[in-house]
Structure 1
Amino acid sequence: MVPFAGYSMPISYNDLSIRDSHLHTRSNVSLFDVSHMLQLELYGKDRIKFLEKLVVADVESLPINGATLTLYTNANGGIIDDLIVSKKPDALYIVSNASRSEEDLKHLEEQMAQFIKTNPDADLNLKILDDKSLLAFQGPKAAETIQAKLESVDLNSLKFMNGIETVYDGIDIRLTRCGYTGEDGFEIQVSNKQAVDLADKLLQSPVSKLAGLGARDSLRLEAGLCLYGNDINMTTTPIQATLAWTIAKSRRAQANFLGAEIILQELKDKPKIKRIGLIGTKPGPPVRAGSKIYKDS
C-alpha cells in the first residue's frame, strides 16, 4: 500500500505482479478501485453555459448520456486538470483526478461566484458525490462479463464514451463505456454502501482479477494516456500536451474559454515543445520516471 492523493492504495495484489496484472488486463479483464477520483454534478439551466467557460469541449452538442474527455484551462492557457464530462438529462456528471480535487473545487467555486455575480439570476448548483464509489472494469472480456448479469441492457448498443443507468445483479449502477487502459471497458458508479458487494460480484468471473496502481500506470503509459503531474501540469498547454484534438471546432470559433487566445495562437504558430511517446525496441526493464534518455549511444 502507498499514499496517493490522500488515500492509501495498493500498487498490486498478492496473486499477480504488476507485469502479470498488466498482461491479464490486455487479455482478460481487471477491476480497479478508482473511488478516490472526484465525482460531482452540475445542476441548473445555466450549467452548460457555465462549464463551457472552463473547458475546451463542446458540451452543448453532447447527446444525452454522451461523454467526452476535456480539460480545465487557466487564463495562461495551462491545464488545471483533465476530466470526463457526461451529459445526463438533468445534470452534467464530472469525474476528475483525486490529486487535483482541491484545486478543481477551488477553481469551480471561484468561477461559479464570478459567474453568478455577472449573472445574478443564474440557475446553477454544484453537488459533490461523496456518497458514490467508482470502479473501473477494463479489458477485452469486460463487456461479456458484465453482460452476463446485466438487466435489460444490450452492451452492443452502448458505444464508447456513452453511459447508462441500469441494474447489475440487483445493484443500481451508472455504467460509462470508457477507461484509462487502452482497452474496452467501463467505469461504474455505485453507491458506497453497495460498492464492495458489486466488486465481489464482478470478481466471481474466472477471467476477472483485481489490479492496482502499478498496472494502471503501465497500461495508461502503453496507451499513450496522460497522467496529471507527470505529463501535464498548470504550465502545459493543450497544444504542448498533444491534446489539441480535445478542443472542439465550435469552441475554437467561439474562443471564449479560459486561456483561449494563448492556446489558439499556439495552435496556429506550432508549439516549441510537445509531449511525445517513445517505444523500446529491445527487451529489458521498463524505463522509470526521471530516467535519462541518450541519443545515438
Structure 2
Amino acid sequence: MLSRAAAVASRTGVRSLASAAGGTVQKTALFDLHEELGGKMVEFAGYYLPVQYKAGVLTEHNHTRDESGASLFDVSHMGQLRLTGDDAIDFLQGLVVGDVAALGPGDATLSLFTNAQGGIIDDTVITSYMADQGFVSVVVNGANKHTVAAHMDAALKAYMAAKPSASVEIHNLFDRHLLALQGPAAASVLSPLVQGGKVDALSFMNGANNCIIDGVDAGPEGCMVTRCGYTGEDGFEIAVPAESAEQLARKLLASAAVMPAGLGARDSLRLEAGLCLHGNDIGEDTTPIEAGLAWTIPKSRRADARFPGADVILSQLKEKSWARRRVGLRPLKVPARHGAKIFSGDEQIGEVTSGTFSPTLKVPLSMGYVNKGFQKKGTEVEIEVREGKRVPAVVDSMPFVPARYFKAA
C-alpha cells in the first residue's frame, strides 16, 4: 500500500529521490532548509521539492485555509523572464491571449501562451512595469519554462525579421527564486516587513517591485511582490535573488502564523479552487474554450485576433464548435484520479484529469472533460475508479471552495 506521501507524489506527477537518482535534478536554495524542517523531498519539474513536512498534507492544507494562518511554499522551480524594449508589449501580444497593453504599472493578469492549433503551451502570470520601470515580468510553469523560452526565442527571430528596427529583448531569470505566502494571514505577516507600506493596498493580481523587506538583503533591486497565488486564498508570490531566498523564508517562518507547506497541499488547495495544472488539466491539445478559460481572452483580443490559434479559438467561442468542456465532478464515494473514464450509461463521455480528497469539504473531488451535452451542472454520470468499478457522480461548477482573493476598497 502506498504511503500518504507516495500517493501524493504519484498524484502530482513527482518522483521520489531514490527514483530520480542519476538524473540532472536541481536543488533550490532552500533545499537544506526543507530538510531541516523535515520536508519529504521528491522530484518535481526537474527540482527537489518537499511534497510535505512533518505536520502532513492535511494539516498544511487546513492551515492555509485557517483564518489565522498562512503557509509558505517554495515555488522556485517556476520560470521567470523579463521583456524589455519599446516593442516588447507588441511582441508579447502576438504570443498570448491576454491584453498586456491594457495593464497599468504593477497590474498582473493570468494569460495563456497558445499554439497555431489553439492549444495551450502554458499558462502564465504577466505583470507590467513597462510604463514606470521599462519591463514586463512573465512567470511560467517550471516543467514548461525551457519550452516557453525556446518558443519565445523563435518567435522573436520571426518578429525581428519582419520588423528589423524593433526593440525587444528577452531576459532569462531562471536562477531567480520565488516564494509563495498563502492564506488569510498572509497580508498581516508580510505587510509589516515591507518598508514604505508598498504592499498594504495591493489588490489581487497587482504587484510592487523594488520592495525592501526587513532583514532580507535582496540587493539594490529588492524583491518583486505580486498579490496572487495558486490556492484560492489571499496571498503573495515574492521574487527574490537565489542567495536571499533562505533569508526571506526564515524571516517569514519566524511568524507564529506561518508554517511550511509542500506540493501535496498545493495540489489539493488548487483543485478545491478549480485551478488547472498544466500537463493534467490543460495542454497543447486543449483550447482555452474547452478548458473553460474563455474569460482570459478580453474583447480587445477577440477583436484583433493576433494571438496564435485565434482562428480555432474564436470559432469555438462564436460557433460553439467545441467538442468537450472541463467540469467539476462530485460527490464521489472514493477519489477518482487522473485518467479515470467518465460514463453515461455504456457510453464513455470523458475522462478525469485531476482528483483528490478535499480536506475542506471532507469529500472526494475531481475535475475532467466531458463531451458536449454533458457539461451542465447537475448532469449525472459514472466514473470508473478502477477496472469494472464505477461510482456515481454529478457534474458541478467550480471552484468547489469559493475564492477569497483580496480586493482593495
1:220 lines up with 2:270 in the alignment: yes
Distance 1:154 1:44 in 2: 26
- Please name the residue that 1:25 is paired with: 64
Point out the structure with the larger strand share. 2
What is the letter of the counterpart of residue 329 of structure 2? Answer: L
CA distance in 2, matches of 1:20, 1:285: 21
Cα pair distance change 1:286/1:18, threshold 3 Å: farther
Partner of 1:138: 182
Aligned partner of residue 51 in structure 2, secondary structure: coil
Q: Who is 1:115 aligned against?
A: 159
Q: Is the 8 A contact 2:290 2:325 kept in 1?
A: yes
Instruction: Give how far 1:170 is off.
Output: 3.7
* CA displacement at 1:109 relative to structure 2: 0.7
The counterpart of 1:251, out of the listed 279, 301, 313, is 301
Structure 2 residues without counterparts, runs of 5 or longer: 1-40, 217-221, 344-380, 383-391, 393-409
How far off its partner does 1:280 sit? 2.5
Q: CA RMSD in A?
A: 1.4
Instruction: Identify the residue that residue 198 of structure 1 maps to in structure 2.
Output: 248
| 2:333 pairs with 1:289 | no
Residue of structure 2 equivalent to 1:57: 98
Alignment: residue pair count: 294
Alpha-carbon contact 2:199-2:207 (below 8 Å) kept: no
Q: Deviations over 1:7-65 (max 9, x none)?
A: 11111011x11111111101110000001000010010010000000001111110111
Mark the structure with the bigger radius of gyration.
2
1:211 corresponds to? 261
Question: In structure 1, the residue corresponding to 2:100 is in which secondary structure?
Answer: coil
Residue of structure 2 aligned with 1:260, choices 274, 299, 310: 310
Residue-by-residue CA offset, 1:209-247 (whole Å, 9 max, x unaligned) = 111110011100000001000000101000000000000
Query: What residue ranges of structure 1 are gaps of 5+ in the alignment?
Result: none
Report the counterpart of residue 75 of structure 1 in structure 2.
116
User: Is 1:230 the equivalent of 2:280?
Assistant: yes
Whole-Å separation in 1 of the counterparts to 2:289 and 2:64? 31
Give the direction of change, closer, same or farther, for the CA distance of 1:21–1:292 in structure 2 (3 Å limit). Answer: farther
Report the secondary structure of 1:70's partner residue. strand
* Displacement after TM superposition at 1:122 (Å): 1.2
Deviates most, 79-88 or 147-156: 147-156
Match of 1:40 among 76, 81, 100: 81
Q: CA deviation at 1:291?
A: 3.8
Q: Does residue 167 of structure 1 match 2:224?
A: no
1: CA distance, partners of 2:146 / 2:313 = 25
User: How many angstroms apart in 2 are the aligned matches of 1:50 and 1:170?
Assistant: 38
More divergent stretch after superposition (180-189 vs 3-12): 3-12
d(CA) in 2 for partners of 1:149, 1:55: 35
Q: 1: distance between equivalents of 2:236 and 2:281?
A: 24
